[in-house]
Structure formats: structure tokens, C-alpha cells
Amino acid sequence: MMWTFSKIFGRRVWCATLVFALMTLLVGCATAKLQRATQPRAFDFEKDTFGYPNELVWEYFFDANGKWTNRRRDPKPDYTHHCFVVAHAAKQFFQQARFAPEKPLADEETYRKLIRQVVSRSDLRLEVTKIVIPGYANLREFSDAEETLLKEECGSAWKSYLQRGHWRIMLPFSRSHQKATSKSLIESIARNHLAVVHLIRFPQLTINHAIVLFDFRDTGQGIEFSAYDPNKPDQPGKLIFDRASRIFSFPANDYFIGGKVNVYEVYRSCLY
């Protein structure tokens, strides 16, 4: 059966309208319901983070001419390209799990099953019944004892590359967008929700990284966010938003020269 132009055009308009309506519903879910939701406790960096890092393939440094350069690490690390995986898993354990140190330790297969359940729960809702992790007091203690299991079950490196929000890097980042992002992050964190954000300078490839924001303070000139950096589990990092320029900046460290970054939130939840 031959389709006329009007029928084809009408069908496309109808499909586009349906997609727009679905997107609107999802956005409404991620905003209106979030305003009514409050996590019962704040994130504790010493307890709610993994004890092991996402390792770096490259070692970054200034050469003799003052140029920022890199070389492959030797020996080759065995747990790399997992920043999104680690950041997302930390958020999932904070929101979806409850640690029960008073309960006896479980066997390996039980822990594997529990880890899979935690990380596979939907980002779009916070379940009332949390998954109980027996024998450990918190994620840091659990990851120190069960590092291999967590690395194997939290997700493969491809999940960092194929994260569903990556399409956003292809669109421009306006200053008004970054201001709105800062406001949204503050509102989420004020209700004890973790915010996993993607830091980029696309089309430059100087940074392509995920961190977890869990606290903030107003400096007068802007907002200083406290961050859990999967690459650096020993101490909190920072992400700075400047009000005047409406620019985010990420401080220099051993893998980034420091400076302006564009920011958007991933794994955004519809919590209630």
C-alpha cells in the first residue's frame, strides 16, 4: 500500500508529539516529585564511598618544556575506565541499600546476588524497602573486604562509554543552562540526594569524567560543591560554580590540568 505525503508527514508529527509528551512526563517526574523527597540522612564520605579507585591508564605531567603531556602507566592497571560505573554504584548503594553489621557474614554467592540487585534497581524511583547487606557497617568497609566481588558485579567498563546520557555532549552548553544546572544540583543535594555529574570539555578531550556531588556551600562569589571522585577515594574533591561568569571549574589534579568544565547530571532519579 502506497503512503501519501500527507499521511507520512502526519504520522511523523504524531510520533514526534508522542515522544515529546513522554519526555515531558519524565521531566515532570524528575522535578516535581524530587521536590517532595528527602533522603533520611546525609552522605558520609568516610562511610559511603568505595575504598578502591578507578585507576588511570595514563600518567599526566608537565614535561621539560612546561607542556601538559602523558604516558602509559607501568605496570598497566587492571581496573580502568570505570568512573561512571563506580559513581553510579555509590549512588545506588546510598539510596537502595542498608548495611546490617549485626547480621552474620554471608557467602560469596549471596553477596554477588545482593550487589547485582542494588546496582540494577531503576534510577527512576527509590524503593521503600532497601536491600540489606549483612555483616558490614557501610560501603567503605564492604568494599575493603569484598573488592573483587564489587569490581566484578557493579558493571563493566563499557557502561562508562555507553551511558545513556552521553548524547547531551553533542549539544551546546549555554551559560543559562549551567546556571540552571547549579540551581538544580543545590536543590537535590539539600534533600540529601546524590548527584552524579559528567564533566566534559567537548570537543576537547582533556576531561571526560564522572563524579558524585554530595554537599555544597555558598562562598559569596559562587557555590563550592563537595565531590566524591572515583579516581581519588582518599579525600573529597571540589567542583566550583562562579555566579558572575556562570562557569563551572574543576581544580587541577594528577589527571586534569584544571579549569573550566561543562557539567550536566546523569542517572537523575525520580524519587518519592
CB 255 within 8 A of CB 231: yes
* DSSP bridge partners of 223: 218, 241
Task: Please give the grid coordinates belonging to residue 164.
Answer: 545513556
State how far Cα 57 lies from the chain centre: 20
pLDDT band at 204 (very low <50, low <70, confident <90, very high): confident
Amino acid identity for residue 213 in this structure:
L
- pLDDT tens-digit readout, 96-133: 999 999 999 999 999 999 999 999 998 766 667 899 99
- pLDDT tens-digit readout, 123-171: 766 667 899 999 999 999 999 999 999 999 999 876 666 666 666 777 8
Residues in the chain: 272
d(CA 232, CA 160): 17
- pLDDT tens-digit readout, 216-240: 999 999 999 999 999 999 999 999 9
Cis-peptide, bond into residue 75, ω within 30° of zero: yes
Scored b (16 or more CB within 10 A) or e, 138-156 reads bbbbbbeebeebbbebbbe
Cα dist. 26→22, 263, 270 in Å?
A: 6, 20, 8
Task: Write down the residue that cell numbers 545513556 correspond to.
Answer: 164
pLDDT value, residue 159: 65
- SS3 at position 61: strand
